[in-house]
Chain A
Amino acid sequence: MHMSIAGILRGARQLAPMSIFVIPFGVAYGIAAVERGMTPVQAVGASALTFSGAAQFAVLDQWDAEISLVAVVLVTFAVSARLIVMGAALAPWVNQLDLRRRILSALFLTDPNFAHTHNALRARETDLGVLVGSGAIGWVAWVIGTGLGASGGLQLVDPRAFGIDVVMPAFFAAMVVPRAMEETRHGYIVVAALCAVMSQPVLPTGWNIIFAAVAGGVVGGLSRDE
């Protein structure tokens, strides 16, 4: 395992087309943040430093003069805890790197570059620059989008009219397809999907994903493929 500039550029190129669709979500966050009372600089700063739509919208929900810093941490933790699961899944590769490169690997870890890189690593990719690059290109799109939204220069179009709202789930579903096709047993996939849907009304935001992922992991891990 290694990490090179060439790998970073390759990762950025591979996810560049998808990252374009991140911009409208950034715009939506920028508009919402300013409406909620953030300054444009704070909104862009939040996107640049946090780079997590789920966490940032959750914090925005708490945003007022009486904001509780403990609540900020707890809410952020709750909606983003699935990053632990993704980090653990990437750990067999990432932990072969030195500390500095591990930190770099963590910096841009999000759902899309996790999905893309995990598939690439299983297809014998050996350069973790792909993880960093495919994450960094999403970061650029997210920050640009936030800036456009926060500066008030853009009218928000309805993402549903162009189907932009289904891009992310469609991308994740597409990442699952080749993996599912090379396996013979898919019971754990059904378990994960059912657990996610059925626990959604009961568990706090984000926790149904973790519950479903761990349930699928346990069921799949205990069954034998052959």
Chain B
Amino acid sequence: MLPLPAAWLGACPEMSEGLAWTAIGLAAATVFALRYAGFWVMERVGMTPTIERFLEKLSISVLVAIVASAVSAGGARELCAVVVGMVAMAVTKSALLAMSVAMCVAALWTLALA
């Protein structure tokens, strides 16, 4: 968190119902703004072939980044499950099957070490 003085951060003395709902409402509004922001920005940027290529690769990269972070936060069990799931996807083209296979691998791994 940024080292801002407490007064700037609007610290409040006690958690009332009103404060709780204000916090929930602010978080919800922030997430919605982020959900809409990508559309809004791209409407103003305008499409060129380069930007289109960038967005195309960006869309895969963000998923790769999520998977890589999850696997590295986990370990061999998660890596093994995800890789087996990817092979299942490559062979069968079924995401549901890929998820099921990955689950089985992870569950068996946990069971084997229990």
Contact = CB atoms under 8 A, between A and B. Distances in A.
Contacts of B26: 69, 72-73, 76
Interface string A6-50: 000000000001100100000000000000011100100110011
B82 A37 contact: no
Question: Counting chain A CB atoms within 10 Å of each CB, which of B24, B61, B72 scores highest?
Answer: B61
Q: How large is the interface on A (under 10, 10 to 19, 20 to 34, 35 or more residues)?
A: 35 or more
B13 to A, nearest CB: 7
B106 A160 contact: yes
B95 A171 contact: yes
Contact of B57 (A59, A163, A217): A217
- Shortest beta-carbon contacts, A-B, top 8: A87-B38, A216-B61, A220-B57, A217-B58, A163-B106, A91-B42, A170-B102, A221-B54
A74 B23 CA distance: 12
A103 B36 contact: yes
Interface size class of B (residues with CB under 8 A): 35 or more
B52 A92 contact: yes
5 contacts: A66-B12, A89-B55, A91-B42, A106-B35, A163-B108
A197 to B, nearest CB: 4
A67 B24 contact: no
A88 B65 contact: no
B15 A209 contact: no
Given A65-B15, A174-B99, A189 B34 contact: no
A115 B98 CA distance: 15
Interface of B: 1-2, 4, 6, 8-15, 19-28, 30-32, 34-43, 47, 50-74, 77-78, 81-82, 85-86, 88-90, 93, 95-96, 98-99, 102-111
Contact of A188 (B61, B82, B90): B61
A50 B96 contact: no
Contacts, number: 318
A146 interface: no
A68 B106 contact: no
B103 A76 contact: no
A62 B12 CA distance: 12
Contacts of B66: 82, 111, 169, 172, 196, 209
B50 to A, nearest CB: 6
Nearest to A183: B60
Contact of A169 (B40, B58, B70): B70
A119 to B, nearest CB: 9
A42 B31 contact: no
A115 B95 CA distance: 11
